[in-house]
Structure 1
């Protein structure tokens, strides 16, 4: 089990696009120690693994490859922001983040402020209807509609019905598209 820790640490660091020196700066561990951990030339200890798990935002069990135990359910803790309610459906740090989002009813008719950020998003309308603005193009999506887009283009998602709307959204900060292949 301990022999697999090094490669796991290297993969976590690379997924987060960090250099050994970046991790060393944040954890206070030397780049030499980190390099030896990743190559398997240094035995991992809790003193070394705990700060690395914190930097990589993963559970210590994930770093050491412990077998799954306990309750696999995600315990939803709603996040309220800008009149919306976000229910996380994945653990923090997952490569693809899933959320159920409750959008307030249609606003005052003013166009919503658009934002841009790295990543790729997919959404599915569960109830109500939403306006998806991508630049100057606005598309109204209704129950059962799905959309995907590169979040580097200006975008906004707003409720367009008289009652609250609900969407399921998947977001990948790496900008990877969601692909489903039919067997």
Structure 2
């Protein structure tokens, strides 16, 4: 919460004004706020109204938050937590329970032999970088950048690096029978 104590706001107003190398008379001429009101605001003898603060922020070319010393709102970037495994990492891209869930995976080469497993669900895999080896029942395929595989996860499957470089992929897993719906072009209006 911002510090709206009149003395604290007054000190911030004085600091911002002096940083801008402006006199009270210059600020008064620019804002239409009297010199005496500006002086009382800066000394903390008068509480600043939103109307006064907006005018001062415009003159000083700062945000309202800077005038009242509001705390930072936080980093707007999304910081996802990766789960590390011996052969790579998995970053959940969705938090929802039920329905399709998206993950980014980075797999490192580790010399593992394929060990196909199965489970309930449906998987859609898109290779972002590197080469992915996918073992799916009797099929053993290598997918490159931009290639996609879609399969029922009840089919025994395994994937890992196709060579000695890491591979990055997106995986969208859904409940049993829930497949991706991909359109190559928009539907025509009827």
Confirm or deny a common fold (TM above 0.5): yes
Give the CA deviation at 1:72: 9.4
CA distance in 1, matches of 2:86, 2:138: 22
Name the TM-score, length of structure 1 as normaliser: 0.55
Give the corresponding residue for 1:177. Answer: 179
Structure 1 residues without counterparts, runs of 5 or longer: 1-70
Give the CA deviation at 1:136: 2.0
From the CA coordinates, give the structure whose radius of gyration is larger.
2
**Contact 2:152 / 2:176 at 8 angstroms: preserved in 1?**
no
Give the corresponding residue for 1:83. Answer: 87
Name the TM-score, length of structure 2 as normaliser: 0.54
Give the corresponding residue for 1:119. Answer: 121
Aligned residue among 131, 138, 144 for 2:140? 138
Structure 2 residues without counterparts, runs of 5 or longer: 1-74
Tell me which stretches of 4 or more aligned residues in structure 1 moved more than 2 Å.
71-75
For these two proteins, the number of residue pairs brought into alignment is 112
For residue 150 of structure 2, give the secondary structure of its aligned residue in structure 1.
strand
Give the corresponding residue for 1:161. Answer: 163
Give the CA deviation at 1:163: 1.4
**Contact 2:128 / 2:169 at 8 angstroms: preserved in 1?**
yes
Change in CA separation of 1:162 and 1:74 when aligned onto 2, cut-off 3 Å:
same
CA distance in 2, matches of 1:90, 1:146: 20
